[in-house]
Chains A and B, each alone.
Chain A
Amino acid sequence: MAINIFIVFRILIGVLFVVSGFEKLIGPYQNFLYIVQSYDMLPAWGEEIAARTMPWIEFVSGVFMALGLRLTVALPAVMALLMAFIVVVGQALIRKLPIDECGCFGTLISFPLNVVIVLDSLLLVLTGILAGKRDDAQKFSLDGYLNE
């Protein structure tokens, strides 16, 4: 039986978002707030909101994507998050902000910004392909099961 690569990518990207969001959510939010502040893009109140909401969006959209539930919403949500990450990291690179580590996975793994932007772009392309091939990505998913 051939492995459906779209299912594998869907689950992997979903799990990546779950791990990343969960790690930020279970620790003190101040740690992630510090990372948001270091990108120096938002006013203080915006940084507060981003630090409190982004990990939830990451975690929930990752769960829905991994399970293949409401993919019509989960895939665009993940793509929007990835686009936001690319913009945020991109501006930090252009402005040469003194950021040693991206903070993308909390404290689990750390990447320099130039690596992160490549990884995020790659993930964005893969998620875009999944959105285009939703019928294939939807196999072995809750959406597929519930639509039967």
Chain B
Amino acid sequence: MAKKSKKLVSLIVLTVCIVAVLGMKVVVGMTKGKLSADAFTKVKGNKNAPLNITEFIDFQCPACAHGAMYLKEVMEKHPGLIRLTVKHFPLAMHQHGMLSAGYAECTVEQGKFWPYHDLILSRQNNWKQLEDPRPAFEQMGKELGLDLQAIQNCLEGMAVVKTIEQSKTEGQALNIRSTPTYFVNGKMFVGQKSLEQEITKYLEEHGD
């Protein structure tokens, strides 16, 4: 008798566990945010590209630097394949995450976001350990011929912080926890490895 009731109780507990998790997933899914259109974002690539990728990035994250290099290579090798949008997601664990996002965001109005994006990520190892990375950020700006005073003015304004925070809030509502997180045609992929698998799969199925 005890054996029989133990089986029944186990089944009931197991069912409750499954229902609780699935129920909570439904609730979380209902409150989940949506990927917004390109307002406040940085975009490159063919407008009609078959792979529309949105990347949530932290400029101090090493995996983001590798991921950006990978995407750049793919976009050069397969022009027209990808339309890339970058959104900020500076992580609290990275002390210069917010500042680097600020510098990058402030290059947008001078039309130099992408060269600055590539440079700041490729030199990440040079500035991420610095106590104050501002001189390194400014040096990169100088190399790209940016108006540093305009960058300074931009950094002192509230608009840049608002843009970055808006981006981060959007990411949080999408349940993003780590960077880089990519949305390929709306489907979530976390980290370069998953992204690579998806792009490779697409190329195998459709070619260039």
Contact = CB atoms under 8 A, between A and B. Distances in A.
B92 to A, nearest CB: 10
A123 B21 CA distance: 25
Contacts, number: 70
Interface string A118-148: 0000000000000000000000001100111
Q: Contact residue range for chain A? A: 20 to 34
Given A27-B28, A28-B188, A35-B178, 7 more contacts: A25-B21, A25-B25, A28-B190, A30-B188, A31-B177, A110-B93, A142-B6
Contacts of B62: 98
A97 to B, nearest CB: 12
A52 interface: no
B13 A63 contact: yes
Contacts of B178: 31, 34-35
A31 B175 contact: yes
Contact of B9 (A34, A35, A69, A100): A69
A142 B28 CA distance: 31
Interface residues of B, number: 26
A60 to B, nearest CB: 6
A147 B188 CA distance: 47
B153 interface: no
Interface in A1-60: 22, 25-28, 30-31, 33-35, 37-38, 44, 56, 59-60
